[in-house]
């Protein structure tokens, strides 16, 4: 029997504790960002991505891991055959799910640990989403993909524009730093959290380094739900090798790390006044996971890990995520939902 993947559990615990300390898991924080009324998430998100970029460079230089940029997620869709179609469509579905639930695949675990009222329903919807995506996966795979095209051979922004990788990194750090500084100046208020969202984002970025140190893998949590779905369908064909559960262990580690932090520190109670119905939470959870897995990653996988490697696919996904989230938030405001 294979040994228990303790490094994955420990890495997840560090990530979950950092998310909880940053206070980036409250439904009102996430939905407020999609409505452009709350910039707590933006400050933490960009601080995390900028710090993650430095963590990945350090890990590569120390030969802890050879991080590969994210390549396009292409799905079989004749009416929209762009190589980034999975990134865009998946990102939009992910953003829709975030607006519906006030969660993302990573923050649902701190929400459960801290007792957010809608968290268990979102987790249920996410599990169902994992089962649905696992069934859809072979049906969505593009039959032929030319991996010799630039989108695959030159997957990063610096490679595509023909600039030096270090110049690209410096530009990204300056851009993130400027946006965070601007948001902090224009919107100095932030939601209840153990630490300032900027410091919290830095802690999340540091958890990227610990993930690389412990598991040689970058942060990303939506694959845990895909593995859950794979194992669900495996129950009907037990003669086949059992699918991996390492990402699932990472996710439960995040749950444990978040819970432990609430026991040893006075973590401020997040705002929990969002009226999220059971139907909305479950449907949103499904959208979160189906979308993130179609895109090949979630808020952490693309936003914190992929963007920090300047992957074009990750920028497309995150752009789709905010377009889907902000667009659906505008529609919900119009219909009074």
| Rama region for 170: left / alpha / beta (φ>0; ψ in -120 to 50; rest) | alpha
Say yes or no to pLDDT of 116 above 60. Answer: yes
Mean pLDDT, the chain, as a whole number? 94
Secondary structure of 190-224 in HEC code, one letter for each residue = CCCCCCCHHHHHHHHHHHHHHHHHHHCCCCCCCHH
Q: How many C-beta neighbours within 10 Å does residue 60 have?
A: 14
Encoded tokens for 283:
């449907």
Say yes or no to pLDDT of 271 above 90. Answer: no
What end-to-end distance do the CA atoms of the chain give, in Å?
50
Report if residue 271 sits inside a domain: yes
Say yes or no to pLDDT of 333 above 70. Answer: yes
Give residues with Cβ within 8 angstroms of 19, minimum separation 6. 25, 106, 107, 109, 110, 200, 204, 254, 258
Give residues with Cβ within 8 angstroms of 118, minimum separation 6. 27, 101, 102, 103, 111, 274, 276, 281
pLDDT of residue 190: 82
Report if residue 47 sits inside a domain: yes
CA–CA–CA angle 315, 97, 247 (5° rounding): 70
Integer Cα distance of 289 and 297 in angstroms = 9
pLDDT in tens, 171-215: 999 999 999 999 999 999 888 899 999 999 999 999 999 999 999
Residue 247 lies in domain: 6-71+79-335
pLDDT of residue 1: 46
Say yes or no to pLDDT of 103 above 90. Answer: yes
pLDDT in tens, 291-306: 999 999 999 999 999 9
Number of domains in the chain: 1
pLDDT of residue 273: 60
Report if residue 25 sits inside a domain: yes
Integer Cα distance of 284 and 191 in angstroms = 23
pLDDT in tens, 117-175: 999 999 999 999 999 999 999 999 876 677 778 899 999 999 999 999 999 999 999 99
Helix (H, G, I), strand (E, B) or coil at 189: coil
pLDDT of residue 177: 98
More confident residue, 273 or 205: 205
User: In this structure, are residues 311 and 80 in contact, taking their beta carbons and an 8 Å threshold?
Assistant: no
Q: What percent of the chain has pLDDT over 90?
A: 85
Report if residue 1 sits inside a domain: no
CA–CA–CA angle 45, 48, 53 (5° rounding): 125
| pTM of the predicted protein model | 0.94
Q: How many C-beta neighbours within 10 Å does residue 272 have?
A: 17
């Amino acid at each position: 029997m294979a040994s228990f993947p303790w490094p994955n559990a420990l890495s997840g615990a560090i990530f979950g504790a950092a998310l909880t300390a940053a206070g980036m898991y409250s439904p009102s924080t996430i939905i407020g960002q999609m409505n452009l009324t709350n910039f707590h998430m933006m400050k933490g998100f960009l601080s995390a991505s900028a710090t993650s970029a430095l963590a990945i460079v350090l890990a590569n230089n120390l030969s802890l891991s050879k991080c590969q940029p994210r390549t396009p997620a292409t799905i079989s869709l004749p009416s929209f055959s762009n190589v980034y179609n999975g990134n865009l469509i998946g990102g939009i579905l992910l953003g829709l799910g975030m607006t519906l639930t006030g969660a993302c695949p990573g923050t649902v675990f701190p929400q459960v640990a801290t007792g957010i009222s809608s968290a268990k329903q979102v987790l249920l919807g996410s599990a169902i989403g994992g089962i649905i995506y696992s069934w859809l996966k072979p049906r969505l795979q593009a039959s032929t993909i030319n991996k010799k095209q630039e989108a695959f051979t030159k997957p990063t922004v610096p490679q595509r524009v023909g600039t030096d990788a270090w110049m690209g990194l410096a530009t990204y750090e300056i851009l993130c730093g400027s946006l965070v500084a601007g948001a902090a100046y224009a919107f100095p208020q932030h939601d209840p959290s153990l630490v300032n969202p900027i410091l919290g984002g830095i802690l999340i970025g540091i958890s990227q380094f610990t993930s690389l140190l412990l598991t040689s893998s970058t942060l990303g949590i939506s694959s845990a739900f895909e593995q859950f779905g794979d194992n669900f369908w495996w129950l009907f064909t037990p003669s086949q090798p059992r699918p991996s559960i390492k990402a699932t262990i990472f996710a439960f580690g995040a749950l444990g790390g978040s819970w432990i932090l609430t026991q040893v520190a006075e973590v401020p109670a997040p705002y929990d006044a969002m009226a999220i119905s059971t139907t909305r939470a479950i449907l949103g959870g499904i959208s979160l996971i189906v979308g993130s897995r179609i895109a090949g990653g979630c808020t952490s996988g693309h936003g914190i890990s992929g963007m920090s490697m300047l992957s074009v696919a990750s920028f497309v996904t995150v752009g789709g995520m905010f377009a889907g989230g902000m667009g659906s938030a505008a529609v919900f405001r119009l219909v009074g939902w």
